[in-house]
Structure 1
Amino acid sequence: MSARWPDPDRVIIDRFVASLDLHSTKSRTCYAQVLHGFQDVAERYHVFDQEVLLVWLRESAERRAPSTLLHRTRIVDRFLERLVEIGAIQRNPVVALRDECNTKQCMPIWRALASQDPEQALAELRQPRPFGSVLGEMMAEHVAMMRRRGYKYTSQPLLLLRFDRFLQLHPGPEAEPLSAMVDRWAATNVTRHHAEECEKLQRLFAKILRHRDPSMPARRPDPRPRKEAAKQWRKPHIYSPADVRRMLDVARLYPSPRAPLRPQSMYTMLLLAYCAGLRRGELARLNLGDVDLQVGTITIRQTKFFKTRILPLPDSVLVELRAYINARQRAGASQDARSGLFWHERGDGHYTPEMITWLLSDVIRRAELKPLQGKAGPRVHDLRHSMVVNRILEWYRTGIDPQDRLPFLATYLGHRDINSTLVYITVTQELLHYANERFRAVGAQCLSLGREAQP
């Protein structure tokens, strides 16, 4: 709760609108009009609190459409934050409600206040406080400890927060054992995915308890829930070389009149995603200085598991990469070694991983390999799976034993060990055919020798 409105002369409004550097006179007029109207309401009250927000919303709703009104709340939000920065008010009441409801954004608060029953809407919006359950302190301490040790530790806290939210919304009896809490959570959903989550949670709590008391016996993991959940996973699509050539042709001719460099950028992204097996995040983080055309390598820095690797590239890929870098320079891109390899004119010049996924997915759709709408069909990450399968097929065709080359392939992909690479080996009919032929040529003789040795 703040005191009376602090700007009777309305000087702060004028300064705030001038500081925004709005290029349009119409925009400056709109901002000033919204803020003066808001102050007209605020000055009628002795205390600046939630009631002021409600009255302003009700009076504005009589003259404005709901979408326009919610858009104008953003202007008020920015102004209130400025008042807090300069010390004119102690706290923004919208932020106070946001913290009370444990939401990250202000717009849900404004929508609740603008509804027919604000109190009910705010009550429905309220979320439990993170790590506010009976086990919350223990879970929060474990997350903080793991991050101090240098782990990213992003997925495990999300699992713990979901369990923490359940415990707050469905409290059990006092002195309830941990196993009973997990059993109650497991009973809320009978899907295979939730069963796998419960198994992960039990493993995680076993680790937490052992950190607190090293004398506790280790818990033996149960592999069955994961195997059951894996049956529902979508199998990766293995692109044939002809599919990849079709996608490259589509990317090169991609319609982009406002960004002439984009088709060549997408073409090069596809090339590196398939030929080098790069993840979408690795593509987004590539800088110009990571490419060494003289040596013929590309450096992938600090990716999954905090690894950095230097990848040699085929001559054909280097030719295309050199052509893209030349086109990038002609387009006026920054030549700083720290600038993004895949550059565009807006923002900071980098493509985000999400934008890369959207663009390459659109290429897959235009190549008629994916439905026009929805998430069904081949994915961008399947290019990485395809690279592994097609490379093994090529080894079979040239008479190379893939078993001897898998450690090198694991290193090239940035995996910790060969087991991670084995996940990418999807058994196709062609791969099965070559494997059977190799067994017939090598392994079948061993079986014949074994039969001859029998008396």
Structure 2
Amino acid sequence: MSRLLREELADYLTFRRALGYRLARPEKLLSQFLDHLEHTRADRVTTEAALDWSRLPENAESNWHAYRLSVIRGFATYLHALDPAHQVPPADILPQRPHRASPYLYSEAEIARLVAASATLLTPLRRATFATLIGLLAVTGMRVGEAIALNRDDLDLTAKQLLVRFGKFGKTRALTLHATTADALHAYELLRDRLAPATGTRALLVSTAGTRLIYCNVHQTFKQLVHHAGLGPRSGSCRPRIHDLRHSFAVQSMLDAYAAGQDGQTRLTLVSTWLGHVHPASTYWYLSSSPELMAAAGQRLDTYLGNQSAGQS
């Protein structure tokens, strides 16, 4: 049973990834679900088994339970098409409360504290890797998965460019780096060559084993760094997450544009392209949670309206 289902899982993941999905977390969760089926000696997906596993751990939020079930539903739908004996759990059997986390907008001082906190990690390579990763996310607004997927030949130190090949929906984009960022990445490469085991990996950022970083491990380590940096939640829905470095980059980019008297709409279009968003509307969500940015935009509007009134009088 286990071997057959795991082969079908591999086929399912290959099929979904061919459509442009990354599926790092779903792959891990579905593998754990198959472990659960094997432990209970089940040979097919049932609604009961899916519910039993999805409700773990018991003290987790209901949204996490609903997400786990949604991951199973996708795989179960695929299996059901191959063999109707597999059941597809109803979509509404574990209701999910619609809410979106409020971005935790990091100040420059807080980002510096996170980078400094990497000194608490055990090995020189691990310390350098996470200091570089946090700095890179903060100054480029890259997604975590994009940074993990970077290969060494994606970095052109001469042109000071970074090629993001594995963006959302498979989109590729080139980012121009500030000279200090290029220098920091060059310094990391030199240290990496000296300390990392020779595994032959193409990855730019590596673990202490000399392998590509793993998404879930990065998140776990970031939580440790948040603790060491003394950063706490600002509310129940606003907690420091690594993804919020991306939000912070977008907000600061717009604040810099307003401070320099530049056109906000033009900058928004540029930021949207830089972040790899399909539509500027996606970027607007990143910006709407910043009172400072909303105040700056409001001030620009008041100035514009004031000038219009003065011209008409």
Q: Same fold (TM over 0.5)?
A: yes
Task: Please tell me whether residue 284 in structure 1 is matched to residue 148 in structure 2.
Answer: yes
Q: Distance in 2 between matches of 1:448 and 1:312?
A: 41
Q: Distance in 1 between matches of 2:142 and 2:168?
A: 11
In 2 relative to 1, CA 334–97 (structure 1 residues): closer, same or farther, beyond 3 Å? closer
* Aligned residue-pair number: 261
Q: Distance in 2 between matches of 1:345 and 1:430?
A: 40
In 2 relative to 1, CA 334–95 (structure 1 residues): closer, same or farther, beyond 3 Å? closer
Q: Distance in 2 between matches of 1:97 and 1:155?
A: 15
Q: Which residue of structure 1 aligns with residue 115 of structure 2?
A: 248
Shift of 1:317: 1.1
In 2 relative to 1, CA 126–310 (structure 1 residues): closer, same or farther, beyond 3 Å? closer
Q: Distance in 1 between matches of 2:304 and 2:162?
A: 38
Shift of 1:335: 9.3
Q: Distance in 2 between matches of 1:298 and 1:264?
A: 19
Specify the SS of the correspondent of 1:366.
helix
Q: Which residue of structure 2 aligns with residue 268 of structure 1?
A: 132
Q: Deviations over 1:272-292 (max 9, x none)?
A: 111111111111111111111
Task: Please tell me whether residue 238 in structure 1 is matched to residue 100 in structure 2.
Answer: no
TM value normalised by structure 1: 0.50
Specify the SS of the correspondent of 1:299.
strand
Q: Distance in 2 between matches of 1:397 and 1:95?
A: 60
Kindly indicate whether the alpha-carbon contact (under 8 Å) linking 1:288 and 1:335 is maintained by their aligned counterparts in 2.
no
Q: Which residue of structure 2 aligns with residue 340 of structure 1?
A: 203
The structure 2 residue matched to 1:424, chosen from 270, 286, 289, is: 286
- Code of the aligned partner of 1:158: G
Kindly indicate whether the alpha-carbon contact (under 8 Å) linking 1:297 and 1:313 is maintained by their aligned counterparts in 2.
yes
In 2 relative to 1, CA 345–249 (structure 1 residues): closer, same or farther, beyond 3 Å? closer
Alignment of 1:204-215 (within 5 A): none
Shift of 1:433: 2.5
Q: Distance in 1 between matches of 2:247 and 2:188?
A: 25
Q: Distance in 2 between matches of 1:278 and 1:247?
A: 17
Kindly indicate whether the alpha-carbon contact (under 8 Å) linking 2:268 and 2:280 is maintained by their aligned counterparts in 1.
yes
Q: Deviations over 1:47-68 (max 9, x none)?
A: xxxxxxxxxxxxxxxxxxxxxx
Q: Distance in 1 between matches of 2:36 and 2:3?
A: 10
Q: Which residue of structure 2 aligns with residue 50 of structure 1?
A: none
TM value normalised by structure 2: 0.71
- Code of the aligned partner of 1:277: G
Aligned-residue Cα RMSD (Å) equals 3.7
Q: Distance in 1 between matches of 2:5 and 2:199?
A: 47
Alignment of 1:193-212 (within 5 A): 193=97
The structure 2 residue matched to 1:327, chosen from 191, 196, 218, is: 191
Shift of 1:94: 7.3
Q: Which residue of structure 1 aligns with residue 181 of structure 2?
A: 317
Q: Distance in 2 between matches of 1:234 and 1:97?
A: 35
In 2 relative to 1, CA 157–294 (structure 1 residues): closer, same or farther, beyond 3 Å? farther
Task: Please tell me whether residue 304 in structure 1 is matched to residue 168 in structure 2.
Answer: yes
Q: Which residue of structure 2 aligns with residue 127 of structure 1?
A: 45
Alignment of 1:133-148 (within 5 A): none
Alignment of 1:13-162 (within 5 A): 105=34, 108-109=37-38, 111-112=39-40, 127-128=45-46, 158=74, 161=77
Q: Which has the higher contact order (CA 8 A, sep 6+)?
A: 2
The structure 1 residue matched to 2:250, chosen from 375, 382, 388, is: 388
Kindly indicate whether the alpha-carbon contact (under 8 Å) linking 2:103 and 2:238 is maintained by their aligned counterparts in 1.
no
In 2 relative to 1, CA 333–305 (structure 1 residues): closer, same or farther, beyond 3 Å? same
Shift of 1:356: 1.5
In 2 relative to 1, CA 390–236 (structure 1 residues): closer, same or farther, beyond 3 Å? same
The structure 2 residue matched to 1:442, chosen from 261, 285, 304, is: 304
Q: Distance in 2 between matches of 1:327 and 1:267?
A: 13
Kindly indicate whether the alpha-carbon contact (under 8 Å) linking 1:370 and 1:376 is maintained by their aligned counterparts in 2.
no
Identity %: 26
Kindly indicate whether the alpha-carbon contact (under 8 Å) linking 1:237 and 1:382 is maintained by their aligned counterparts in 2.
yes
In 2 relative to 1, CA 422–358 (structure 1 residues): closer, same or farther, beyond 3 Å? same
In 2 relative to 1, CA 375–335 (structure 1 residues): closer, same or farther, beyond 3 Å? farther
- Code of the aligned partner of 1:415: H
- Code of the aligned partner of 2:46: P
Q: Distance in 2 between matches of 1:97 and 1:339?
A: 31
Shift of 1:445: 2.2
Shift of 1:254: 2.3
Kindly indicate whether the alpha-carbon contact (under 8 Å) linking 2:125 and 2:191 is maintained by their aligned counterparts in 1.
yes
Shift of 1:417: 2.0
- Code of the aligned partner of 2:222: L
Kindly indicate whether the alpha-carbon contact (under 8 Å) linking 1:287 and 1:341 is maintained by their aligned counterparts in 2.
yes
In 2 relative to 1, CA 295–365 (structure 1 residues): closer, same or farther, beyond 3 Å? same
Q: Distance in 1 between matches of 2:6 and 2:132?
A: 44
Kindly indicate whether the alpha-carbon contact (under 8 Å) linking 1:98 and 1:105 is maintained by their aligned counterparts in 2.
yes
In 2 relative to 1, CA 98–416 (structure 1 residues): closer, same or farther, beyond 3 Å? closer
In 2 relative to 1, CA 449–309 (structure 1 residues): closer, same or farther, beyond 3 Å? same
Larger Rg: 1
- Code of the aligned partner of 2:256: E
User: Unaligned regions of 5+ residues in structure 1, if any?
Assistant: 1-92, 114-121, 130-153, 171-181, 194-228
Q: Deviations over 1:201-227 (max 9, x none)?
A: xxxxxxxxxxxxxxxxxxxxxxxxxxx
